[in-house]
Amino acid sequence: MPPRHSPPEALLTTLSATRGRSDRLTHTEHLPARPARYAPWPDWIRPEVVASAQAMGVRQPWAHQAEAMNLAKSGQSVVIATGTASGKSLGYLGPVLSDLLVGTEARNGRGATALYLAPTKALAADQRRRAAELAPPRVRAALYDGDTPPEEREWVRQYASYVLTNPDMLHRGILPAHARWSSFLKTLRYVVVDECHGYRGVFGSHVAQVLRRLRRICARYGSSPVFLLASATTADPAVTAQRLTGLPAEAVTEDGSPRGPMVFGLWEPPLTENVGEHGAPVRRTATAEAAHLLTDLVERETRTVVFVRSRRAAELVALQTQDQLPRPLADRVAAYRGGYLADERRALERSLHSGRLLGLASTSALELGVDISGLDAVLMAGYPGTRASLWQQAGRAGREAQGALAVLIARDDPLDTYLVHHPEALFATPVEATVLDPDNPHVLAPHLCAAAAELPLTDPDLELFGPSAAPLLPVLERRGLLRRRGDAWYWTRRERAADAVDLRGSGGSPVQIVEAPTGRLLGTVDASAAHTTVHTGAVHLHQGRSYLVRDFDLDSSVALVELADPPYTTSARDITSISVLSTDTTVDWGEGRLSFGSVEVVNQVVGYLRKRISTGEIMGESKLDLPPRTLRTRAVWWSVTEDQLLDADIPPDQLPGAAHAAEHASIGLLPLFATCDRWDIGGVSVPLHPDTGLPTVFVYDGHPGGAGFAERGFQRAVRWLTATREAIAACECERGCPSCVQSPKCGNGNDPLDKAAAVRLLDVLLAGAHAAAEETGRDREAAQDGPDGRHGRHGRDGQAGPDERDGRDGRVAPTHVPDPTEAAQAAAEAADGAEAAARAVEREAGRTTDRPTDGSGPGAS
């Protein structure tokens, strides 16, 4: 091995040249260093803050930090959207701590306060440490989260001037008890929203409404805080910030921080001698490959973090690496993931900060800004779902302008395979915009109830909550959740309204994992994942140990486990059916059709497979008796006719496999075109769907009410399905494999699948799309040449068809001037959606959903 701390390029060369790995590196990207651009300290920043920063080696702020400070001081909400390790924290801490120091001169020592929101507890704890380094002790910074002991909570409410918490605690603990926080809220000067790019989809939509509730309560106490947001590099950060807070924001995007050179490798694990389902070739798993690479890096004392996609993968990578290393090196490798108890997390964070740990396998918890400076390398076992997350994870290495190595290791998955062979999709494509929809009635309805419980809702409040609020109130009144008295709406129930809102979409209370012989609590798992991960008979990993689930008690939300060492892993199997509730838009693609609208998905886990650890061989299947789960959401779907199937030479016996394979691959590729992850979406393929009367493939959002992902797929359908077709056709396998059409979460055991027929099916569908686009172009030209000079309508009902853009920012171009009836129609649709949302509020815990699956509807198998 080369000497320790060798340049990243030499390190990557060594990794690829040893152990027969020469053919696994598919691409190397060299990212040049970037020089620093400095600015003077704003003269209003308190000298104590400047002195502390200079003592830490910050002689002058970078240009973007100073710009953010000045915007904040002017009272303008601001979003700092610069790269990883670009000092965003100082950009908002400068004004926050300066104003808090001024506030300490008030009679009660708390003339100004600030609230910090982080998506994870670890990040909030890290930011508390940073604040303590920059400010004198008289600025009282305190954590307020689920781990805060009860005896400390009252002190925080009464005396802390800088409270660091998370959206969940703000929603459940602070806003419902705002009277007890009145002295803090009436002097609230700033609200910091860190890592705001992570607030996307349904979670982001919920947080957006929590922030509106916060603004309403602050106004009640006479304060109007400035919002300071920090984000990874994203498209349209100012738009994202405004949708999140409801306030206009200035974006700071010119990064003035220095960056050392980075070498970024794309890595594809080799094919193995093993075969998977239906004899398909199988590549070595990304986690196994990451463990081998981490072993080599730890042996040469290269500080490395491996980012993985699941809690189980974090445990596996750490365990396999430890097994391959001698002691004491093996003791310097660990796993870090959600579900650990608070003491375990804190101990790991201390070991990471101190440098005792050389290798860490982590879920995305460490992606979000936790200071892990001094890393030499980052390995990513699987594409993290978005380019924004990819760069955020890669940026964890190479702080303080040192050189860094980042390696993306492809999973045996269509998207990962596509990316490692199409580097331009990563390195020549801008990062995504953050998708969230605060007006989603499934999101908005319970927050209106929570707001009414905090303070009676009045008509002037409705503007704060958006245009969908007014149509929802009568629905909530009909359900007996709100009551109007005079000019205000009141919460009518004895239950806490906030308890009806599940911010993270986990589908209810977490399931506790308890060691049966001792009664010891090992950890928790989200309710939405429990049916597939801790069902009776499942294998569960925790801190490198294997457990078997002896009993899963649905009523008490407890999974009883016991230590075991089975030679297999488990994988749940399920069945899924889907029905169309309403169709918003349909576009004719020749004889075929592309549609977008609302659907109901019914999913049930019916059994699980046991797969041998060493080979992936299926050892057997067991049945389960778990209740079905229902999800109302949004979907994009496409249908073809019998004539098109004849043109594609797809006889009836090949149709189920063709549609199923196309569905799997399209789900795998959608994250390239929408800000989502494969696990955020699901799909169903049906040879003859009763609602369409045609062979149909659905792709749906895995969240109640939708999250915007399927809509993005509809808008970009031509490019999305073209990439899907290319990914299937380019795969070197003969009959279909995990790199193209097999899915790791298929509820039907990846049967049936027909790779070749899927390509023909997509060919005939896209041929119709291209023919329709040509016809639309001719119609538009004719309309432009007509007597009134107006543009012709295209798509159906005058709406923009997929991939019809204005050429500037990727958004769908407007095609007609809205008329007054559209607002009424939108309000009616919101009210329809609110009926389901109101029922969810009525059940207190919200609608529970299962993990979105790739599956087949009735008659597909």
Q: What is the DSSP string of 336-394?
A: E-TTS-HHHHHHHHHHHHHT--SEEEE-GGGGSS---TT--EEEEES--SSHHHHHHHH
- Per the rule left: phi > 0, alpha: psi between -120 and 50, beta: everything else, 795 is left
Neighbours of 722 (CB within 10 A): 16
785: pLDDT strictly greater than 90: no
Report pLDDT for 107: 86
Question: 263-287: per-residue pLDDT in tens?
Answer: 999 999 998 877 666 666 778 889 9
Q: Locate 762 and state its tokens.
A: 């997509």
Neighbours of 780 (CB within 10 A): 16
Cα–Cα distance for residue pair 578/637, rounded to 1 Å: 11
Look at 385-394, 593-602, 826-835, 837-846 and tell me which has the smallest mean pLDDT: 826-835
Those residues whose C-beta lies under 8 Å from the C-beta of residue 757, and which sit 6 or more positions away, are: 648, 650, 654, 655, 657, 658, 661
**Cβ(849)–Cβ(831) under 8 Å?**
no
Those residues whose C-beta lies under 8 Å from the C-beta of residue 852, and which sit 6 or more positions away, are: 631, 679, 680, 681, 682, 700, 701, 702
Look at 248-262, 301-315, 393-407, 546-560 and tell me which has the smallest mean pLDDT: 393-407
Q: Locate 822 and state its tokens.
A: 């559209």
pLDDT grade for 354, boundaries at 50, 70 and 90? confident
824: pLDDT strictly greater than 90: no
What is the average pLDDT value for the chain, to the nearest integer?
84
**For 311-333, b where at least 16 C-beta lie within 10 A, e where not — what string?**
bbbbbbbbbbbbebbeeebbebb
- Closest residue by Cα to residue 667 from 608, 727, 707, 616: 727
Question: With the C-alpha atoms ordered 436, 439, 443, 449, is the resulting torsion angle positive or negative?
Answer: positive
321: pLDDT strictly greater than 60: yes
Question: 620-643: per-residue pLDDT in tens?
Answer: 999 999 999 899 999 999 999 999
pLDDT grade for 22, boundaries at 50, 70 and 90? confident
Go through the chain and tell me how many residues it has. Answer: 861
Report pLDDT for 827: 37
The most confident of 239-253, 379-393, 774-788, by mean pLDDT: 239-253
Give me the numbers of helices (H) and strands (E) for the chain, helices first please: 26, 31
831: pLDDT strictly greater than 60: no
**SS3 assignment, position 589:** strand
pLDDT grade for 738, boundaries at 50, 70 and 90? confident
pLDDT grade for 542, boundaries at 50, 70 and 90? confident
**Cβ(13)–Cβ(22) under 8 Å?**
no
Q: Which long-range contacts (CB under 8 A, 24 or more apart) does 816-824 make?
A: 823/467
Cα–Cα distance for residue pair 404/388, rounded to 1 Å: 18
Q: Locate 92 and state its tokens.
A: 């908002």
Q: Tell me the pairing of strands 78-81 and 271-275.
A: unpaired
Region 102-112 average pLDDT: 90
Those residues whose C-beta lies under 8 Å from the C-beta of residue 214, and which sit 6 or more positions away, are: 115, 170, 175, 191
830: pLDDT strictly greater than 60: no
846: pLDDT strictly greater than 50: no
Query: Which has the higher per-residue pLDDT, 227 or 337?
Result: 227
Cα–Cα distance for residue pair 91/529, rounded to 1 Å: 38
Q: Which long-range contacts (CB under 8 A, 24 or more apart) does 803-810 make?
A: 803/715, 803/716, 803/717, 803/718, 803/719, 803/773, 804/776, 809/235, 809/236, 810/235, 810/433
Report pLDDT for 288: 92
Name beta bridge partners: 556.
Answer: none
Report pLDDT for 473: 93
**Cβ(744)–Cβ(795) under 8 Å?**
no
855: pLDDT strictly greater than 50: no
Report pLDDT for 847: 33
Question: 466-481: per-residue pLDDT in tens?
Answer: 998 999 999 999 989 9
41: pLDDT strictly greater than 90: yes
**SS3 assignment, position 282:** strand
CA angle centred on 376, ends 371 and 382, rounded to 5°: 85
Cα–Cα distance for residue pair 415/285, rounded to 1 Å: 15
Region 499-513 average pLDDT: 78
pLDDT grade for 52, boundaries at 50, 70 and 90? very high
Name beta bridge partners: 652.
Answer: none
Cα–Cα distance for residue pair 218/34, rounded to 1 Å: 42
Report pLDDT for 444: 92
Cα–Cα distance for residue pair 189/224, rounded to 1 Å: 7
- Closest residue by Cα to residue 459 from 444, 446, 469: 469
Report pLDDT for 416: 86
Look at 233-237, 345-349, 716-720, 809-813 and tell me which has the smallest mean pLDDT: 809-813
Cα–Cα distance for residue pair 682/853, rounded to 1 Å: 5
DSSP type of residue 783: H
- Dihedral (Cα; 737, 742, 744, 750), 10-degree rounding: -120
Q: Locate 257 and state its tokens.
A: 């921080």
40: pLDDT strictly greater than 90: yes
Query: Which has the higher per-residue pLDDT, 20 or 815?
Result: 20
pLDDT grade for 259, boundaries at 50, 70 and 90? confident
Report pLDDT for 667: 92
Question: With the C-alpha atoms ordered 687, 691, 697, 699, is the resulting torsion angle positive or negative?
Answer: negative
End-to-end alpha carbon distance in the chain: 52
Name beta bridge partners: 602.
Answer: 577, 630
**Cβ(627)–Cβ(554) under 8 Å?**
yes
Query: Which has the higher per-residue pLDDT, 355 or 132?
Result: 132
pLDDT grade for 2, boundaries at 50, 70 and 90? very low
Burial tier of 221 (Cβ tally within 10 Å: 0-12, 13-18, 19+): middle
Residue 329 exposure: Cα atoms within 13 Å on the Cβ side: 17
Q: Locate 764 and state its tokens.
A: 């005939």
> What is the percentage of the chain residues whose pLDDT exceeds 70?
85
Question: 325-336: per-residue pLDDT in tens?
Answer: 998 899 999 988
> Rounded to two decimals, what is the model's pTM?
0.74
486: pLDDT strictly greater than 50: yes
Residue 718 exposure: Cα atoms within 13 Å on the Cβ side: 16
Cis upstream peptide for 752 (omega within 30°): yes
Report pLDDT for 837: 56
Q: Locate 176 and state its tokens.
A: 């419902």
529: pLDDT strictly greater than 70: yes
- Closest residue by Cα to residue 710 from 578, 575, 529: 578
Across 613-709, the runs of DSSP E, i.e. the strands, are: 618-623, 629-639, 681-686, 696-701
Residue indicated by tokens 């390029």: 9
How far CA 649 is from CA of 590, 718, 764, in Å, comes to 18, 22, 10
Name beta bridge partners: 378.
Answer: 305, 406
- Closest residue by Cα to residue 794 from 807, 810, 805, 809: 805
Region 14-20 average pLDDT: 86
Region 649-653 average pLDDT: 95
Region 762-785 average pLDDT: 75
777: pLDDT strictly greater than 70: no
DSSP string, 468-535: THHHHHHHHHHTTSEEEETTEEEE--SS-GGGG--TT---SSPEEEEETTT--EEEEE-HHHHHHHSS
pLDDT grade for 806, boundaries at 50, 70 and 90? very low
807: pLDDT strictly greater than 60: no
Report pLDDT for 836: 52
**Cβ(404)–Cβ(260) under 8 Å?**
yes
- Closest residue by Cα to residue 538 from 563, 572, 567: 572
- Dihedral (Cα; 315, 319, 325, 327), 10-degree rounding: 100
Those residues whose C-beta lies under 8 Å from the C-beta of residue 617, and which sit 6 or more positions away, are: 274, 611
CA angle centred on 660, ends 656 and 662, rounded to 5°: 120
Q: Tell me the pairing of strands 457-458 and 488-491.
A: antiparallel
Reported as type and span, the H/E element at residue 334 is strand 333-336
Cα-only R_g, the chain: 27
> What is the percentage of the chain residues whose pLDDT exceeds 90?
53
Neighbours of 273 (CB within 10 A): 7
Cα–Cα distance for residue pair 246/459, rounded to 1 Å: 17
- Closest residue by Cα to residue 97 from 35, 22, 47: 47
CA 569 to chain centre: 26
pLDDT grade for 417, boundaries at 50, 70 and 90? confident
